[in-house]
Chains A and B, each alone.
Chain A
């Protein structure tokens, strides 16, 4: 056997050994173990009343992507400082991604830029982007306010004043809704009044102040889901208020609000697919944590819902996700 042949045999044996090590051992190629992605969802509220459909979508994605989703509520409503602490805590605990419904988007972005969480952050309800935010899933709040304004202008008498109720204009998206509404209502000649929540009784006091001394009628618009729910509950509890509040419109949909629409408490509302919002947020978080390239902005389409539309069942699957 020539030297050349001997070398060929040695090379072949070495090649086989290499292939064996590559294919049957962990010495060279280490098999990636399936890691469960931990996702922390930090909302802007003390309970998940407004996140029913969102959670449905979130849990569907959690199951599909085998993620571990930790849904976290605040101790105090709209407490941005607490929200920031929760982000730091979750990052410290080793979360792979954070889904955040920021109380105040501008402050949240500022703080995120400062703390630099080191994991993907998905923003809910905000269209603001920054380097700290991996993806923002939102609806166009200005357009939503404008559409709602157009429905009000089309259905209601401009002689009746409109009270715009909100948890706070500074909270995420509310300023855009307000601007959208005002752009239409002002043009249509409505008299508009803004009422921001200062305390638990702010809305009731504002309604009472309008109803009793002045004995006047007005339309109420809840510019966020919290305000709309509170207003619907207040009106449902008082037939007197219902006599003076000619119509209740608002932003956001929950099952309770839709039932209240059935009962004639709520006249119209702007809704969007919260199931999709929940699903997409977790999907984006898992994919971002896995290093996949993300869309920076996902915009959901809002729909105007009134009693007739609700009964028609057109948006049944959006408003009542199949369980």
Chain B
């Protein structure tokens, strides 16, 4: 089965890193989302509050405008109903009353004048006369009053230039005019009452009023003409612009617009009576982060939050993954073959459970491996036992044949010697089923064998056994010398005539026990030597025991380990030396002479 995410990013990274990345990214995304939501919500709330406050401000301004207009209307009414209507201009002057009213309102009023319908100046305060060539009838404020006699008219701001004040100054005014009835003797005529209101009295109402950062308030007429603007003169000069045409179309309320690449909330309120519009333009985004340091502060806060999240996530991921890493180390040890390692069991429930499972699994593997070794050993033993029980009947027949021949030729002493040797030979071969015997017994066994073969081969070879007394009580595998001696006789001595020599030497070196079987026979090639460790059937002679060199070697290695076993040194026509290398273990230390495993 193909592994999941093969070749993917997370396939190459640790579980700790993966958890860390997932947690951090998720937490950061959640933080940013929450931050943006809060920011958006707060911005909206702030904008709403700002608009609400702007609306309140515009309403207050509207009320101030209303009071201002009412004061002018009241003045106009006082002038008309209190002064002009009751006076007969043919007999009396109303200058005193006009002056009195002017003095009471001179902070706001520039001129008060009464004109006849033809434009003749009847009374004026504080100005006394018209400029030469001045034509009041041609003025727009005069015509407006004439055209709609029932109304009080307010002009747009202008410079009143019809009066000769003798000053080199000029003043901007708003002219409030109305048609009035003038009594002159018995006749009543229509006239025009003019009140020039100082522009700066209007300006004072708006002066200093701002809407948030960069917002302002202006006043426009019914046709969209500018009446007041904080940058009025710059707009007239074309150095600045205002969105007058659009604003003129707006109804009362707040409107959103984009002007000069800036979003604005425009609040409009119509002033009663005049129909003028108070317009408040508040620039949205006045709260935007425009300073470099403020932006950096936001980046710092975001980075700090991200850092804290990363730290917390690192801690959490470490807590989760440390037991996994410990368990992984244990698994690596097991993978390397160390089944004895102490498997880590810790962390959360799942990891503990996994650790316990691995620990149990290791124990199980170890037990199974022991079983396999035991089974293998048992199989070898059985195999040896079978071989041992198959000692060539031909050897027995030949031996018995020699014994018969000796008895017939009245060589009873020799016959007794052979029979005795044969009896001892079989006694040790059986050894009550033991696999381990003493070196002494093993040498006794091979000596009996050699005695029989020496008699049989009519002294065609001589033999000698050399062994130190100290090795006699050491443990030896049973029947390991006899197959080697058998090979030496059958393959080394068979064609020799009386000068064959077999030397068996047993000695100890440190913890090692060596048994050497040397002959001066035909010798072997290296190929023949190698074949001896691989071939199953090794004894070509029908009179052999059937226990091969390989079997001997395998048994030694099985019992003592891979570093022990046989070595063969041989040269053609020179002879062969086979060395058995075993661990030197006293026979008494082996339990029942059976269990001598090195490992």
Contacts and interface: CB of A to CB of B under 8 A. Distances in A.
Interface stretch (A175-183, A218-226, A237-245, A272-280): A272-280
Contacts, number: 82
Nearest to A17: B300
B293 A31 contact: yes
A323 B133 CA distance: 26
Contacts of B232: 322
Nearest to B131: A262
What secondary structure prevails in chain B residues at the interface with A?
helix
B300 A263 contact: no
Interface stretch (B168-176, B542-550, B562-570, B590-598): B168-176
A60 B293 CA distance: 31
B299 A316 contact: no
A280 B171 CA distance: 24
A13 B199 CA distance: 63
B300 A24 contact: yes
A320 B131 contact: no
B300 A20 contact: yes
Given A313-B158, A322-B172, A60 B234 contact: yes
Contact of A255 (B133, B170, B307, B310): B170
Interface string B318-337: 00000000000000000000
Interface in B170-189: 170-172
B300 A276 contact: no
Contacts of A318: 236-237
A322 B300 contact: no
B132 A264 contact: yes
Nearest to A316: B159
B416 interface: no
Contact of A15 (B131, B133, B294, B303): B303
Contacts of B293: 22-24, 29, 31
Contacts of B159: 316, 320
Given A262-B161, A320-B159, A16 B300 contact: yes
A275 B235 CA distance: 12
Interface string B264-294: 0000000000000000000000000000111
A256 interface: yes
Contacts of A23: 293-294, 296-297, 299-300
B158 A16 contact: no
A12 B200 CA distance: 61
B300 A19 contact: yes
Nearest to B138: A311
B233 interface: yes
Contacts of A307: 133
B131 A19 contact: no
B233 A321 contact: yes
Interface string A21-36: 0111000010100000
11 contacts: A19-B303, A22-B293, A23-B297, A24-B293, A255-B169, A262-B161, A313-B158, A317-B237, A320-B159, A320-B170, A321-B233
Interface of B: 131-133, 157-159, 161, 168-172, 199-200, 231-234, 236-237, 239, 292-294, 296-297, 299-300, 303-304, 307, 310
